[in-house]
A and B are shown apart, each in its own frame.
Chain A
């Protein structure tokens, strides 16, 4: 059974977003997504410093069996790529498998328009989606 925390918002593409204070948010992939992907061996984010529109690709996750694009839940500027995952730093992409909502977060973003949040799925709707 996948873990789907109540306090997060979700996309149909299996990303989660957690809004911190103000317009700052963290984005990652869900427990369901990491389980479906299997062992994640590489994460690439080539949009740091860029403004990326909602539903656009901000990076790629490479698992042994498959490659999956990462989609922005919401329009915003990509501020940071999690150093735990980055090949230039800790290079530990398996953190997504181990802790998808914690140390496996993928990017930190600055939200352009908080009103877009209303269009995302809540935990109940996402749970229905993956049921």
Chain B
């Protein structure tokens, strides 16, 4: 099992650890609900150094990314980030990812540089996929194994972290980033992004500086009761927002159109993998759709539980579910046949022999 530069720190803090995507990761410290609450109302910090990062650079780096990703890379100015996905050739999803357009200070004339951030479980798959399509003048560098990532999330993240940098944190727009000095560490990418819906930053830095970064973040956040958070709270937070999780809600067999990711699938941008399939799906609709739902039971929906209609006929399957800590209600996401996808449609989730009643609900479940 692999470690992040902070695995020992998490163990010393008494975190409950588990293997995730090959890494020994913290699942929770004080408890998922406390960590969740800290991010919704204060500030929390997550070590997500397991995520993968590739730098793609060259005269045709743009063309490569425009070909392999679904969103429109042409929209990115230097300092912008974009949520996107890598479609496969059958209209499925290889991975979802963030694309950053980097400063060009290390680029030769006419070159561009991007960083893509991918799911830990897909690092090799994504690398091979992009490389296979790299018939362009573009160099690829896998920096995953020397790059760490801290997510400092929550409405108090700006004020709690401002003492660590000259970059005006409160002034940063969502989905932009700056490269700068943070906690005395040079060349930190300070990105106004996250997977929680409560605002904050993601900080990319070299593995060798991660411990220093963690300590500085914890110290600076002390007056705001900054809370170390694990992957358990990361999951409940993203699920309350209806953010898809690769491997659960989206995978090689789900299309971004049916997964509600039409907004990152720009079929008019020019050619890219599976564009024609997506254009057709957009025009004709898909047979199934990923929806959110809220149950009126106390039991939680879980991955792979069947979804049935009022007559008991199977109409879909749960992809993610939990008890929402903010709402104190069971929430979930799943694929249902298109005729059941409208908000307000009554459905039932089968928790083995028990039918849990619920209703299709448009995420986010929690309004920040």
> B-contacting residues of A (Cβ < 8 Å)?
35, 38-39, 41-42, 44, 46, 60, 62, 64-67, 87
Closest chain B residue to A66, Cβ basis: B302
Among B31, B298, B325, B354, max chain A CB count under 10 A is at B298
Which of B18-52 touch A at CB < 8 Å? 27-28, 31-33
The answer to whether A64 touches B236 (Cβ under 8 A) is: yes
Interface string of B230-265 (1 = CB under 8 A from A): 001001100000000000000000000000000000
The answer to whether B300 touches A67 (Cβ under 8 A) is: yes
The answer to whether A41 touches B323 (Cβ under 8 A) is: yes
Ordered by A's residue number, 5 sampled pairs between the chains whose C-beta atoms are within 8 Å are: A38-B31, A39-B31, A41-B323, A62-B299, A64-B32
The answer to whether B16 touches A65 (Cβ under 8 A) is: no
Cβ of B351 under 8 Å from chain A? yes
Q: How far is the CB of A43 from chain B (nearest CB, A)?
A: 9
Chain B contributes a number of interface residues (CB within 8 A of A) equal to 18
Interface string of B278-321 (1 = CB under 8 A from A): 00000000000000000000111010000000000000000000
Cβ of B322 under 8 Å from chain A? yes
The answer to whether A38 touches B32 (Cβ under 8 A) is: yes
Known contacts A41-B323, A64-B232, A64-B323; A87 and B298 CB within 8 A of each other? yes
The answer to whether B299 touches A42 (Cβ under 8 A) is: yes
Q: How far is the CA of A53 from the CA of B185 in the complex (A)?
A: 62
Question: Knowing that A38-B27, A42-B298 are A-B contacts, what are 14 other residue pairs whose CB atoms are under 8 Å apart, sorted by A's residue number?
Answer: A39-B31, A39-B32, A39-B33, A42-B299, A42-B323, A62-B300, A64-B32, A64-B232, A64-B325, A65-B32, A65-B232, A66-B302, A67-B302, A87-B298
Q: How far is the CA of A67 from the CA of B27 in the complex (A)?
A: 16
The answer to whether A67 touches B325 (Cβ under 8 A) is: no
Among B32, B235, B236, max chain A CB count under 10 A is at B32
Q: How far is the CA of A86 from the CA of B246 in the complex (A)?
A: 36
Q: How far is the CA of A39 from the CA of B31 in the complex (A)?
A: 7
A66 CB contacts on chain B under 8 angstroms: 302
Q: How far is the CA of A59 from the CA of B28 in the complex (A)?
A: 26
The answer to whether A65 touches B31 (Cβ under 8 A) is: no
Q: How far is the CA of A41 from the CA of B354 in the complex (A)?
A: 18
Known contacts A38-B28, A38-B32, A42-B323; A60 and B235 CB within 8 A of each other? no
Q: How far is the CA of A112 from the CA of B340 in the complex (A)?
A: 48
A46 CB contacts on chain B under 8 angstroms: 354
The answer to whether A38 touches B232 (Cβ under 8 A) is: yes
A44 CB contacts on chain B under 8 angstroms: 298-299
The answer to whether A64 touches B351 (Cβ under 8 A) is: no
Q: How far is the CA of A35 from the CA of B354 in the complex (A)?
A: 26
Q: How far is the CB of A101 from chain B (nearest CB, A)?
A: 20
Q: How far is the CB of B110 from chain A (nearest CB, A)?
A: 50
The answer to whether A64 touches B33 (Cβ under 8 A) is: yes
